[in-house]
């Protein structure tokens, strides 16, 4: 409406003035042409445009809310229609985020002791991986045995347990503490490695399951013409590759820190085509910067409050199938708007010449 009225309104006003003045001078009948100019102005008034376009957006947003999709404005609903790149966080978005310990591989220590050390080191954390270790251990942590807990961003945790320096995390952390013998595991999953006083003690494999309907949602997006689907994850490359392959995702980036996700989104934004928008779907605190940077940020309703606040669209029922559904709704809304525009212009094409007395004088 803003773009249209910038040109339409001055053109109509000038046209009405010309219609009132020039024929009046030529014919010497100002009364008739002033009436025709006023009729011209009334018929030219874009009431159909002003009413139909906002109502279409209101209907689209209302229909989405009934389906459990909160869209925070008409501009976001409009931008969804031109989505061309869909980027997903992995944990908690494409997967359930409920990790479970699936294997324990000790080295010079028994399984129970390995689990106990890992659980004690992670006892202060609410991260899904930490929670899965606590569930597997199944006992209360004796915090009196723990001191000097330090979280190493993107790597894991360091702590002093029973007077010994313990490191629990990925292979990067093992290399940082010079734990000899640290090695990757043949099993697919997130490996939590443990070292005590620089001596490697083994690793624990933790796996996450895919959300119901995740593969179908990716397939539906491709059917809607989404040019590229991308997955971002902090997990290791094998886990990322396995998840992307299972879901049919075109591209994945693994072993990312929160800042790396924003860098990936920035790169994808620079690669998008003209008039194409990028959609980012996430659920966690770490996803908030990427949600803000994307053209359209979509948050999972069961995610963190920070992610929901940062997003432009919220999936209140936490169903990934609502992502393609929201895009379909936005396109249906714009299609309705275009139909309204057609009939509004059709009305003006017929009415304005009549008002000007070109085809048939109204009086």
- Please give the positions annotated as active site: 89
What is the rounded CA–CA span in Å between residue 152 and residue 157?
A: 6
Half-sphere exposure of 6 (CA within 13 A, CB side): 4
What is the rounded CA–CA span in Å between residue 130 and residue 146?
A: 15
- 200 by DSSP, 3-state: which? strand
Contact criterion met (CB below 8 Å) for 253 and 242: no
Two tokens, residue 93: 């978005």
Backbone angles phi, psi at 277, to 5 degrees: -115, 155
Contact criterion met (CB below 8 Å) for 77 and 69: no
Contact criterion met (CB below 8 Å) for 61 and 333: no
Contact criterion met (CB below 8 Å) for 158 and 167: yes
Close Cβ partners of 12 (under 8 Å, ≥ 6 residues apart): 40, 41, 44
Two tokens, residue 184: 């990757």
What are the residues facing 294 on neighbouring strands?
none
Cα R_g (the chain), whole angstroms:
30
**Please, what sign has the CA dihedral across residues 251, 228, 220, 283?**
positive
State how far the alpha carbon of 282 is from the alpha carbons of 127, 224, 263, in Å: 16, 20, 15
The secondary structure of residue 180, as a DSSP letter, is B
Q: How many CB atoms lie within 10 A of CB 109?
A: 16
Comparing C-alpha atoms, which of 122, 110, 121, 133 is closest to residue 205?
133
């Amino acid at each position: 409406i803003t773009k249209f009225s910038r040109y339409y309104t001055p053109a109509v006003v000038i046209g009405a003035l010309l219609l009132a003045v020039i024929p009046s001078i030529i014919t010497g009948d100002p009364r008739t042409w002033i009436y025709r100019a006023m009729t011209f102005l009334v018929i030219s008034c874009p009431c159909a445009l002003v009413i139909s376009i906002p109502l279409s957006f209101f209907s689209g947003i209302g229909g989405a809310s009934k389906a459990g999709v909160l869209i925070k404005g008409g501009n976001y609903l409009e931008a969804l229609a031109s989505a061309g790149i869909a980027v997903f966080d992995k944990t908690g978005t494409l997967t359930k985020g409920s990790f479970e310990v699936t294997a324990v591989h000790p080295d010079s220590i028994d399984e129970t002791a390995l689990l106990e050390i890992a659980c004690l080191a992670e006892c202060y954390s609410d991260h899904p991986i930490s929670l899965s270790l606590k569930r597997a251990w199944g006992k209360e942590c004796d915090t009196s045995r723990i001191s000097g807990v330090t979280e190493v961003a993107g790597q894991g945790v360091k702590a002093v347990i029973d007077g010994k320096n313990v490191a629990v995390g990925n292979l990067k952390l093992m290399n940082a503490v010079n734990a000899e013998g640290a090695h990757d595991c043949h099993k697919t999953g997130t490996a939590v490695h443990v070292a005590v006083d620089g001596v490697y003690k083994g690793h624990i494999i933790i796996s996450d399951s895919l959300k119901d309907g995740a593969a179908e949602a990716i397939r539906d997006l491709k059917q809607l013409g989404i040019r590229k689907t991308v997955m971002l994850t902090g997990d290791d490359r094998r886990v990322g590759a396995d998840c992307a392959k299972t879901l049919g995702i075109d591209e994945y980036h693994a072993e990312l820190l929160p800042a790396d996700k924003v860098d990936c989104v920035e790169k994808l934004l620079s690669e998008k085509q003209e008039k194409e928008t990028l959609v980012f779907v996430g659920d966690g605190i770490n996803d908030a910067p990427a949600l803000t940077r994307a053209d359209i940020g979509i948050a999972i309703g069961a995610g963190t409050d920070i992610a929901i606040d940062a997003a432009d669209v919220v999936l209140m029922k936490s169903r990934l199938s609502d992502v393609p559904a929201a895009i379909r709704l936005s396109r249906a809304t714009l299609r309705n708007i275009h139909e309204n525009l057609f009939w509004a212009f059709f009305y003006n094409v017929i009415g304005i010449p009549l008002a000007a007395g070109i085809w048939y004088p109204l009086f």
